[in-house]
Structure formats: structure tokens, C-alpha cells
Amino acid sequence: MTNINDHKTKKYNNPFTATLTGIRDLFRKLPPAGTLKPENRLDGKTVLVDGSSSGLGFAVALDVARRGARLVMACRSGIPGKGELIKKLSGNPRVTMLPVDFSDLESIEKLARQIRDEAGPIDIYISNAGIVPKKSRKTPQGLEEMFMVNYFSKFVFINLMIEYGCFACKPEPSRIVLVSSESHRNPDKFDWDGFGIYRDYSIGKSIELYGYYKLLLTTFSVELSRRINADEAVRGSVFALCPGPVNSNIAREAPLIFQPLLKLVFSIFFRSPARAAIPVVYLAASPDQKGKPYDYFFLMSRKEIDEKASNPGNGKKLWDLSQALLEKLRQKP
């Protein structure tokens, strides 16, 4: 496998530098692109939020419910408790929970069918689920779990949603908000030869690969926008963002010896999930973002994505490889 970080000392290569970079990023002053206002309501909209059992996703789901949306929570755990909690905290009874394991192709396909048949059409989809595993693990289809959950499941699920007509698209283009990370800038290059191939790794490599899969996700986000908005008419808005460092459960698999220190640093320096949810909900709900084909935010500021991600050749290559991998998996008995 090509080492995607051969040459430089990287900012997100290990938990220590990743945490320091996250803290430093919080103090970088960039002009805000707008403001999320209480009047940015979501009454009449159906909003799907995945990975909403915990951390950022839970906070986003709660904010969305408080803004009056019909909320669909796609979760691996916390059913029905987390949905009941959101109903109680928001006073909004229009909350449904659907089970999904994004590491399993069959579960993703089942979720897409449930949305087509019962829970859709979806006006706004917030794709948030993500992991930092302590080591490589195989999915039911033999892929590497972080590759599947943090990137490939999103390619599969969003394309199924489009194929099944799950997006409302009226009266305004549906919005897809992908939770990515500034760590997508870290890798030097794509590892096209290793695409989708399972390889063992341990915690030392997890953070580096996390940035690489966020690069795939960010590249996918802009390629998706290119494809659905190919002839200038905006059919769907695709937004990606880095919410900044969030005091969530993302480091749950960090070595036990570091857990107390990480918990302390996270609680002092990182944003609360409710605060980190603001740019996510802004992209989902603000009229400022209506009809835009694409945007990338870091916190509340608009930014250019890394040029590797915005390069159309890379976008096409990623799409073709992803499509070929999906077809191969579907052919397996």
C-alpha cells in the first residue's frame, strides 16, 4: 500500500497532534459566512440525521426537532430511548427512529427501502455517522470498517436514495450535509491502487486513515454536486463541513491509559455538541444556503476544500472506483 503521508510531518497523524491541531484551529479567526437565527424554522420539512444517538448527531437532531421538522433518526444504537429523549426535550412528537449499521451493505439497503416506503420523502439529509476505531476490523462484506462507515456507506446510501426517489426536491432543492473534517487536507495523495482493499492497521495509523477517508468523503461531496447539478439547474445542494473539535464520544476507542487526559482536554478546549451543531444546522436550515449547488464550511466560515478534493479528475476516479467496488460486492453470492 502506498503510504499516503510519505513526506511530511502531519497535523492529524496521531491522537496527540490531532488534538493540538483541533484546539489551534478553534482560535483561527475567519469571517463567519452567516448566522443561524431562531426564525430559521424547519416546519413542514422532513430531516434525516444519521449517527444521531450520540455527540454531534444527537445535538443536531435536537436542534432540528426544536425548529419544527419531522425528524428521522437513523441510528445503530439508542432506539427508542434517544428518540424519546429528543421528543421530550424539544416538545416535538414528530420523531421516528430507524435502525442502521453503516458497516453493513444489507443494513444500508434496508434503510434506503424503509425511507422510500415509509419515512420519506426527505428534504434535508445530514450524514454524520463516523468512527475512529482502535484497529482495523472487517465488515460483513469484507471491507475495512472505517473506510465503510466514514466514506463508502455514504456513497452507497446517497446513490440508493437518489435511485429510489427518496429526496423531496420540491419546492426547493433537497439539501445533503456531509460532516467531514479539516483533516481531509492531510494526505499527500490518493491511494487509488489500495482502494477498498482490506489491510490490517492499529491505533497508530487510525488517525492518519481517518483524514484519508475524510478526503474521500470531501472529494465525493463535490463530485456528487457536479453530477446532480450537471446542466446548471440546481437539483440538490451538497454541503460539507468540518464542525471543529467536538466534545463528543469520538475518542471512545482511544487506549484506556489516555482516556482521562483526552476527556479532560476535550471538556476544556473542545466545543460542546450543541455549539458544534450550529454550522451543521445553518447549512441545513438557513435561507442563505437555498439553491446553492455546493459549499464547504469550517465552523461558520466558508472555505475552499483541498485542491485534491476539488479536482474533477480525482472526483471521477473516486466515483468510478466506488461504483466498481459496489458492483463487485453485489455480485458476490
Ligand X SMILES: NC(=O)c1ccc[n+]([C@@H]2O[C@H](COP(=O)([O-])OP(=O)(O)OC[C@H]3O[C@@H](n4cnc5c(N)ncnc54)[C@H](OP(=O)(O)O)[C@@H]3O)[C@@H](O)[C@H]2O)c1
What does the binding site for ligand X look like in residue numbers (CB under 6 A)? Answer: 22, 51, 53-57, 76-77, 100-103, 128-131, 149, 179, 181, 242-243, 245-246, 248-250, 252
How far apart are CB 4 and ligand X at their closest, in Å?
A: 18
Q: Which is nearer to ligand X, 130 or 293 (CB)?
A: 130
Question: Which distant-in-sequence residues (6+ apart) come within 8 Å of 33 by Cβ?
Answer: 288, 297, 300, 301, 302
For helices 203-228 and 153-163, the axis angle rounded to 10 degrees is 20
Q: Which is nearer to ligand X, 100 or 124 (CB)?
A: 100
SS3 per residue for 119-152: HCCECEEEECCCCCCCECCECCCCCEHHHHHHHH
How far apart are CB 261 and ligand X at their closest, in Å?
A: 15
Q: Which is nearer to ligand X, 22 or 315 (CB)?
A: 22
How far apart are CB 210 and ligand X at their closest, in Å?
A: 7
Q: Which is nearer to ligand X, 173 or 196 (CB)?
A: 196
**For residue 237, what are the CA distances in angstroms to 110, 228, 233?**
25, 9, 11
Q: Which is nearer to ligand X, 66 or 214 (CB)?
A: 214
Length of the chain counted residue by residue: 333
How far apart are CB 243 and ligand X at their closest, in Å?
A: 5
Local structure of 4: helix, strand or coil: coil
How far apart are CB 212 and ligand X at their closest, in Å?
A: 13
**C-alpha 300: how far from its chain's center?**
16
User: What's the rounded Cα separation, in Å, for the pair 148 and 144?
Assistant: 6
